[in-house]
């Protein structure tokens, strides 16, 4: 890997993480509830983007920048799990379970839809 690819990962990954923060905050401000809608929005949109990119024919370096650097830093598995665990600690078990089921179901759907879009001629 070249220095340019490493620099690209650094910059594109930084952009993805800042965008995740902005989207999460914007959604959380509009929907002030105990359900983590901001994280859900980020992860579902990221799954759709990953599906689209997966359906495209990219060079290994472009795929690294798009998949790993941008989408990998934009989406957030760890925050999803931490929020789910906190809901459980707060005895909001049904909300925690809903977070898991809804995230997986919508995430799979978004990824498949994104892949279908990416495969279109």
User: CA-CA distances (angstroms) from residue 94 to 34, 72, 86?
Assistant: 12, 28, 12
**pLDDT value of position 57:** 86
Number of domains the chain is built from: 1
**pLDDT value of position 97:** 97
Ligand-binding annotation for 68, yes or no, is no
pLDDT digits (tens, 9 = 90+) for 21-67: 999 999 989 987 889 999 999 999 999 999 999 989 889 889 989 99
Whose CA is closest to 38, among 53, 20, 56?
A: 20
Whose CA is closest to 74, among 51, 42, 115, 29?
A: 42
Ligand-binding annotation for 75, yes or no, is yes
pTM summary value: 0.91
pLDDT digits (tens, 9 = 90+) for 54-103: 989 889 889 989 999 999 999 999 999 999 999 999 999 999 999 999 99
Containing domain of residue 68, as a range?
Answer: 3-119
With vertex at residue 11, the alpha carbon angle to CA 19 and CA 83, rounded to the nearest 5 degrees, is 35
Cα 43 to the center of its chain, rounded Å: 3
**pLDDT value of position 25:** 94
């Amino acid at each position: 890997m070249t220095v340019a690819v490493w620099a690209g990962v650094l910059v594109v990954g930084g952009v993805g993480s800042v965008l995740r923060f902005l989207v999460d905050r914007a959604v959380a401000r509009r929907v002030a509830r105990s359900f983590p809608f901001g994280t859900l929005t980020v992860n579902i949109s990221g799954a759709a983007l990953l599906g689209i990119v997966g359906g495209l024919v990219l060079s290994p370096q472009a795929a690294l920048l798009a998949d790993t650097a941008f989408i990998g830093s934009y989406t957030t598995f760890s925050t999803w799990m931490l929020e789910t665990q906190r809901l459980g600690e707060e005895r909001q078990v049904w909300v925690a379970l809903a977070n898991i089921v809804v995230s997986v179901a919508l995430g799979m759907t978004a990824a498949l839809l994104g892949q279908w879009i990416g495969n279109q001629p």
